[in-house]
Amino acid sequence: MKEIPLFRYLYIFYAFVFLLHTINVFIDSGTVNYILGVLAIFMLIVSYPLASRLFKILGGSFLAIGGYLFYTTGQSFHVIPSLLTTNLSLLTLLSMLPWMNSIVRSGRFDRNLNLLMKVNASDLGKLYPRSSLITHILAAFLNLSAATISQDVLKSMLSSFGKEIRNSFITTASLRGYSIALLWSPLEIMVAVSIFATGVDYVTLLPWLIFMAVIAFMLDSLFGRIYYKKYKFEHAGIDTQSKINKKVIVKKMIQFIIALALFLTLVILIGNLFKLSFILTVTIIILPFAFIWSILIKRRRSFWAIGWNNWKTKTNTMQNFIVLFISLSLFSTSLGDTAFLEFIQKPLSYVYDYPMLILFLIQAIFVIFSMFGIHPIATVGILTGIITPLLEIMNPISIALVLITGSVATFTVGTYGLLVTLTAMGTGQSPFRITIKNMPFAIGMSIIGTLVAYFLL
């Protein structure tokens, strides 16, 4: 399809919608929300021809099924625009992520991460646990940005390898390291949702969450060491070591950790002070924080040069995400208003006397639903009717643990989830391939969560 010159400036339209949405979060106007829904329809119309074939099929399917489900609810068609805004927060956050990546690039922190990963790594087997651990550490501070930063570094490092091996390594090391960090991170929304649904204290859960994270990391690292050790670095060894200045790396990493710790502190303080959601807090903090950081490290000019072009390019090419998440809004919202929820809840109600089976079913529902585009938050909502009576006959800690492990496991296999689609776009592979590759890990994490939960019953 020949590009229309006007399409080069779509980032202006997209940015206007995202800014209006952010403002409306604070003023909470129903009229503005409806206007945003109308603008979302225009975004969908404009973006659909520019989306890839896969996302056209996915978006069209969600629109068709969501439209049918909406029709069965008997609601008036004029309410449709108000249903299309539920994922605008995700799209807004997605448009701001390039600024954090840009400060990392302008400060050359990615180069130091590259060296830190590479040192003494003669093969991919030795690189795997290190890559996973660095992603894990970053995810505790940066959440979604951690995965994109780690993947950018790995793509550069593994450029000499074939596409299949490179994509396999990135798909497993970055997504799994990221998801393991979310098991215990107080910033992870699914941890907060699970605590809210069960009433369990975070401090009570933390030791068990860390225990499961350690077990999952050790087992996955063992897999990585064995599976990837046959792939050697062609230029590993003396040439690589000679380029490493340990003092520079240590200095850069200290700066990096301090900046990330400060960013985390600001997210917590501002979020709690103004009662903002994590996604919104990160969205509004990223740009000013990155700019001040660039001033402190004396990289302001390179930050703006890299950041502006990076943001403009990334925002201007968001068509796949726009088609996916706007169509998914209609599907998910319409699904919640149908009798299908009762169909989901009935099987669990028949197995109250078999706690192990209940725990496995909860885990399985999370993974299966994620493969059809249902966010784990929505899954918790679907399971609410079952969770409440279970809290009276089972240990609430056990229920909270399976909710957290089940939901976090979906981040590696959720075919239409943000993390998987980001990885699919960044590596140029199908999200279905990523799902298949990480399914053993998701099942393994679910088993760990179920066994620990059953032990605590």
List pLDDT tens digits, range 348-389.
567 667 788 888 888 888 888 888 777 787 777 667 667 777
Name which residue leads in pLDDT, 128 or 256: 128
pTM here is 0.71
List pLDDT tens digits, range 159-187.
888 888 888 999 999 899 989 988 887 66
List pLDDT tens digits, range 95-119.
888 888 788 778 777 667 666 776 6
Burial 392-405 (b: 16+ CB within 10 A, else e): eebbbbbbbbbbbb
Range name among 43-47, 63-67, 149-153, 302-306 with the lowest pLDDT average:
149-153
408 within 8 A of 188, measured Cβ to Cβ? yes
User: How do the domains of the chain map onto residue ranges?
Assistant: 97-189+212-297, 339-455
Name which residue leads in pLDDT, 375 or 39: 39
Burial 242-275 (b: 16+ CB within 10 A, else e): eeeeeeebeebeebbeebbeebbeebeeebeeee
> What is the per-residue DSSP string for 67-107?
HHHHHHHT--GGGHHHHTTTTHHHHHHHHHHHHHHHHHHHT
Range name among 200-204, 246-250, 295-299, 346-350 with the lowest pLDDT average:
346-350
